[in-house]
Amino acid sequence: MSFLSEPIGLSHYLAVGAFLFVTGVVCMATKRNALGILMGIELVLNGAIVNFVGFACPYFRDENLGLDGHLIALFVIVLAAAEAAVALAIALNFYNNHATIDVDRADELKG
Amino acid sequence: MTPLLAATSEAAINWHTVMFYVIALCACGFAVIVALTNNIVRMAFALIVSLAATSGLLFLAGAYFVGAMQLMIYVGGTVVLLIFGVMLTAQKAFITMRTQAGDWILGLLVGGTLLAVLVQLVFLIPEWQSSNYQSTADAQLVAYAEELKSQRARGEEITAEQRRRLELMAVKASEGMPQRTGEIGLALIGVRADKIESEQTGLAGYLLPFEIVSVHLLVVLVGAAFLARAKRHHHGGDVS
């Protein structure tokens, strides 16, 4: 159990961020429900937030992002909220018009 | 007290590390559940737990304000919005929509490759692997305490300023993270409290992005209300 007694580094935070990102991408690629795709996007944005805060932490490195990392993470959270509102409105509109939220059926703009 | 602190800090279990592993396992495990389950209601619940655990990670990294905002805006706002969407569209056929096996295989293959590359890359750089913050702060504290002790042995009194510096170093060794909420608020209105004034050139703070994101939120909310409004069906002629 030697890994429990030594302090964690920036790598651990970046690994968690990478895992959340990849999980979100897989979720976006495999779901057929439009709301499931939205949840995948939320996971991807969370991976970005974890990375920014990890780089901003003064505990890990001496030359860190500092306050800039925290502020960019805040802007990412606000943008995620806005994106969820618009995408949910689009999904509900699609459901009203077509009585389905299957993204495979949303092929009216197919070239 | 301080040599005792330095002696025990090597062998004992680092509780910060243990908490990190527990919370990271929670976040990653529930994210996997979000990706793998077919039931949309269970996906929403697992997403809530995953996002809350992520805010725990942010607290562990010292980003207290960002962690609180993650809990309030994400878990309290965005996911509730998503759950409303799930409830409004939860017809029987859409609760569990199955994906074809070929899509699963392709997605997991590409995702696994990407994850392997990213994790290998993350652990490649040696100065990212472990933080020496605790050991250097402990060493500084012990060295300064020894210096003060020798000063006492020479018969000189310890001044109040030296005592205060010792206390500051003890605080740095015990927690280390500055409290940043006020600095974040000042940076949002364009004043950087954490930088020296001579280093600030041009747009130092975040006033312009703050204004842009405010107007953006307003436009987005108006647009969402416009898109999701109830449809009025006009049937020409049959209105009596």
Higher pLDDT, B7 or B131: B131
Angle between helices A34-56 and A10-30 (to 10 degrees): 170
- Reported as a single tens digit per residue, the pLDDT across B71-125 is 999 988 888 989 888 888 877 777 777 888 888 999 999 999 999 999 999 988 8
Which residues in chain B touch residue A86, judged by CB atoms under 8 angstroms apart? 220, 223-224, 227
Would you kindly state where each structural domain of chain B is located, as residue ranges?
15-96, 132-189
Residue type (1 letter), A45:
L
Mean pLDDT of B220-230: 86
**Cβ atoms within 10 A of the Cβ of A68, count?**
16
**Cβ atoms within 10 A of the Cβ of B187, count?**
24
Are A5 and B14 within 8 A, CB to CB? yes
Are B74 and A79 within 8 A, CB to CB? no
Which among A35, A77, A90 is the nearest to B86, CB-wise?
A: A35
**Any CB–CB contact under 8 A between B200 and chain A?**
no
Give the pLDDT score at A45.
95
Residue A14 near residue A51, CB atoms below 8 Å: yes
Give the pLDDT score at B11.
59
Are A79 and B69 within 8 A, CB to CB? no
Higher pLDDT, B201 or A27: A27
Q: What is the rounded end-to-end Cα distance, in angstroms, of chain B?
A: 90
Residue B167 near residue B138, CB atoms below 8 Å: no
Query: How many CB pairs lie under 8 A apart between chains A and B?
Result: 265
Which residues in chain A touch residue B70, judged by CB atoms under 8 angstroms apart? 49, 77
Higher pLDDT, A42 or B62: A42
Residue B75 near residue B55, CB atoms below 8 Å: yes
Q: What is the per-residue DSSP string for B123-182?
A: TT-GGGT---HHHHHHHHHHHHHHHHHHHHHTTPPPPHHHHHHHHHHHHHHHT-PPP-HH
Q: A93: which residues sit within 8 A by CB, 6+ positions away?
A: B227, B228
Give the pLDDT score at B26.
95
Strand (E) or helix (H) holding A109 = none
What chain A holds in terms of domains, given with CATH numbers, is 10-105 (1.10.287.3510)
Which among B89, B106, B184 is the nearest to A70, CB-wise?
A: B184
Helix (H, G, I), strand (E, B) or coil at B60: helix
Q: Tokens at residue A61, please?
A: 């490195």
Helix (H, G, I), strand (E, B) or coil at B57: helix
Of the candidates A44, A13, A22, which has an alpha carbon nearest to the alpha carbon of residue B58?
A13
Residue B66 near residue A49, CB atoms below 8 Å: yes
Q: Measured between alpha carbons, how far is A41 from A25 in angstroms, rounded to an integer?
A: 8
**Alpha-carbon torsion (B96, B100, B105, B111), positive or negative:** negative
- Reported as a single tens digit per residue, the pLDDT across B171-193 is 777 655 556 788 888 888 887 87
**Any CB–CB contact under 8 A between B148 and chain A?**
no
- Reported as a single tens digit per residue, the pLDDT across B212-223 is 999 999 999 999
User: Closest chain B residue to A44 measured between Cα atoms?
Assistant: B31
Question: Which of A16, A28, A104 to mutate: most B Cβ within 10 Å?
Answer: A16
Q: Which value, to the nearest 10 degrees, does the dihedral of the CA atoms of residues A55, B179, B66, B54 take?
A: 70
Angle at B110 between CA B106 and CA A72, to 5 degrees: 130
Which residues in chain B touch residue A71, judged by CB atoms under 8 angstroms apart? 184, 187-188, 206
**Any CB–CB contact under 8 A between B55 and chain A?**
no
pLDDT of B136 > 80? The answer is no
**Cβ atoms within 10 A of the Cβ of B117, count?**
12
Give domain B15-96's CATH architecture.
Up-down Bundle (1.20)
**Any CB–CB contact under 8 A between B82 and chain A?**
yes
Residue indicated by tokens 């954490």: B194
| Cα distances (angstroms) measured from residue B88 to each of B46, B83, B138, B222 | 19, 9, 56, 20
Give the pLDDT score at B218.
94
